[in-house]
Structure formats: structure tokens, C-alpha cells
């Protein structure tokens, strides 16, 4: 099998498994899985910048929140129909990523982390400042009546799962394709040795900015999807915690792998879910598992798989 065929088989099998799981799983777990898929979109967006381009951002919550508020406010205040509101959310995230990238990409390494963190804090404070519209920490609910698309009620379990799966699939397959493209391979070259890539005639600055915009856009898709499917918009999603989560998910699942983000979110979600059923000190259990993973699988689950078994993993 060629590399492209292997990669296509892998990605389609993941999607087939997600379809099958809906029919097999009890409602509690399929509800969880819908949430996992939406958060995995967020992690995949993060992975573009961190896993493939080698830029560690600590401010991605602002892009997630931009998608979420862009969508939520256009529905609640603007009265826009869902598809249009969704596109507005995406546009907000991409525009914010373009501006942030334009300024923050003048720095690199630790400085880049700090600058993105500061931008995200500012975005969080802006949400609180305009509390009249955003309702600050308390957040706001998007009414069930507003969450209809072409006669389909997105508040029902089935529709929500299908919508999450469709959005996830679109992002998953698009990103898998981008990673194999000339653009994607150049991002990897920048991650591995930026100076060399520049001296091979690539405009590394422009590539990094495009990666940042793409990454922010996908995070925005996740934010808008979260608001649309779960009906809540709140400032918690703009806090630094939500910038750390995607980093953790991607590290766990395997940075720079296409299916790592999904696995990372899945693993983390059920780790907390399971350990909290055992003890109230569930964060301790989660912490120990995370420490063990970093010790024995520092490249994450899929990173280890790539190292040990499947060198071709995209």
C-alpha cells in the first residue's frame, strides 16, 4: 500500500469507528463522545501550530472563545440564522488569529508563549468588560428554539452526535490532506529547522502566519460548534485553563500526528470520568497517569506508536 492509501485507510477507519460507536454506545457515552469530538476539533487546530509548525501558543482559548462568542452573539443579539452565525464565528477566530499572529510571530520560543498568553488574557478581559452583551462569567444560553438547522433539532442526542461527527470529519479529513500537501510538509520543515527552510527559499514568516490563521480558524470552528451543540457561551472558555487543555491533549495523544488530538481528548476525558467515579481525589489519579505517560511515552500515545511500530503515521 502506498503512503497515501495507508493514510486514507487510517482516517476513514477512525471515522467509521465513530459512526459505529453511536449505534453501540449507551446514550451517556455517545453524549460524551459528541463533546469529545468537538474538543478534538479544538485540539486538531492547536496541533497545526504546535505539532506541525513547532510554535507553542498559550493563548488558543481566545480563538476558541472568538468562535464561540462570534457565533453566540450573532444568534442571540444579531438574530442570524445558524449557518451564517457559524461562519461569523469562524471569521472572528480567523481575524483574531491573523492580528495576533502578525504581532506575536515577531517573537519566538518563550517570548511567543508569553505574548500569546497576554493576548488571550486581554481577550478574556474584553469579554468581561463588555458584560452587558456577553454576560461575563455567568455567560448566556442559546435557546433551544434557536438551535434548529433545516428543521433538525440540534438539542436531540442523535442530531447532536451527527452534527459533531460531520464537523469533526470535515476538519479531520481537511487537515489530513493539508498535512500531506506541500504547505504541510513545509510547516514540518520549519518545525525541524527554520533557518534551513528559509535558506531553501521558503518564506517562513508567511508560512507561520498562515499556520496561525488556520490553527485559529479551526479552534474557532470548535468554539462555534460547542456553543451550537451544547447551547452555552461563557467566559470560562476564554480563561487560561482552556489554553492549557489543548496543549495537554495534543501532548498526550501525540503532537504532530493526525489522530493524536482525538485520542488525547478521549483519553483525558475518560481518565477524569473514570477516576472521579473511584475517588474524590480524582485529579491525583489523573496526575499520576499523566506523569507516567510523560515518563514512558514522552511523544504521546501516537508518537510512541509512530516510533515503535508505524513509522508512516501521518
Partner 1 sequence: MNILETKGLTKVYGGITANADIDFALPRGKITALIGPNGAGKSTFVGMVSGRTPATRGQVLFEGRDISTLPAHERIQLGIAYTFQITSIFPRLTVYENVAIAARRLFGKDPALLQTKITRALEKVDIAVHAEQIAGDLSYGHQRLLEIAMGLVQEPRVFILDEPTQGLAEAEVTGFIELIKSLAGDATILLIEHNMTVVMGAADWITVLDQGMVLANGTPEDIGSNAAVQAAYLGKTDA
Residues that bind partner 1 (CB under 8 A): 182, 185-186, 188-189, 192-193, 195-204
Closest CA to 51 of 294, 311, 264: 264
Taking the C-alpha atoms of residue 177 and residue 175, their distance in angstroms, rounded to an integer, is: 5
Closer of 90 and 190 to partner 1 (Cβ)? 190
Closer of 73 and 105 to partner 1 (Cβ)? 105
Least separation, in Å, of the C-beta of 8 and partner 1?
A: 16
Closer of 39 and 190 to partner 1 (Cβ)? 190
DSSP secondary structure code for residue 142 in this structure: P
Coil, helix or strand at residue 232:
strand
Closer of 30 and 186 to partner 1 (Cβ)? 186
- CB atoms near residue 203 (< 10 Å): 12
Least separation, in Å, of the C-beta of 182 and partner 1?
A: 4
Please identify which residue in the block is written with the cell numbers 509512530.
Answer: 306
Least separation, in Å, of the C-beta of 183 and partner 1?
A: 10
Closest CA to 105 of 91, 122, 90, 119: 119
Closer of 92 and 197 to partner 1 (Cβ)? 197
Least separation, in Å, of the C-beta of 258 and partner 1?
A: 17
Whole-angstrom CA distances from 292 to 249, 252, 273 are: 15, 11, 18
- CB atoms near residue 109 (< 10 Å): 9
Least separation, in Å, of the C-beta of 196 and partner 1?
A: 5
Amino acid at each position: 500500500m502506498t503512503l497515501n492509501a495507508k493514510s486514507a485507510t487510517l482516517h476513514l477507519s477512525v471515522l467509521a469507528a465513530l459512526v459505529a460507536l453511536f449505534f453501540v454506545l449507551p446514550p451517556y457515552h455517545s453524549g460524551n463522545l459528541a463533546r469529545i469530538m468537538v474538543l478534538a476539533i479544538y485540539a486538531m487546530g492547536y496541533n497545526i501550530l504546535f505539532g506541525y509548525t513547532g510554535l507553542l501558543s498559550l493563548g488558543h482559548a481566545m480563538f476558541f472563545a472568538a468562535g464561540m462568542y462570534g457565533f453566540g452573539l450573532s444568534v442571540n443579539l444579531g438574530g442570524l440564522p445558524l449557518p451564517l452565525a457559524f461562519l461569523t464565528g469562524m471569521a472572528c477566530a480567523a481575524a483574531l488569529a491573523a492580528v495576533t499572529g502578525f504581532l506575536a510571530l515577531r517573537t519566538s520560543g518563550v517570548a511567543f508563549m508569553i505574548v500569546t498568553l497576554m493576548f488571550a488574557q486581554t481577550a478574556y478581559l474584553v469579554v468581561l468588560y463588555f458584560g452587558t452583551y456577553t454576560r461575563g462569567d455567568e455567560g448566556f444560553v442559546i435557546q433551544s428554539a434557536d438551535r434548529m438547522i433545516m428543521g433538525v433539532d440540534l438539542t436531540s442526542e442523535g442530531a447532536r452526535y451527527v452534527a459533531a461527527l460531520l464537523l469533526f470529519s470535515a476538519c479531520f479529513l481537511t487537515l489530513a490532506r493539508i498535512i500531506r500537501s506541500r504547505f504541510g510538509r513545509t510547516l514540518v520543515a520549519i518545525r525541524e529547522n527554520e533557518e534551513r527552510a528559509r535558506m531553501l527559499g521558503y518564506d517562513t514568516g508567511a508560512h507561520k502566519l498562515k499556520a496561525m490563521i488556520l490553527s485559529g480558524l479551526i479552534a474557532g470552528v470548535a468554539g462555534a460548534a460547542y456553543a451550537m451543540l451544547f447551547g452555552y457561551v461563557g467566559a470560562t472558555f476564554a480563561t487560561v485553563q482552556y489554553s492549557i487543555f489543548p496543549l495537554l491533549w495534543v501532548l498526550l495523544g501525540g503532537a504532530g500526528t493526525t489522530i493524536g488530538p482525538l485520542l488525547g481528548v478521549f483519553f483525558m476525558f475518560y481518565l477524569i470520568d473514570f477516576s472521579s467515579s473511584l475517588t474524590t481525589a480524582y485529579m491525583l489519579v489523573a496526575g499520576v497517569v499523566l506523569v507516567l505517560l510523560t515518563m514512558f511515552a514522552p511523544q504521546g500515545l501516537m508518537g510512541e506508536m509512530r516510533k515503535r511500530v508505524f513509522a508512516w503515521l501521518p
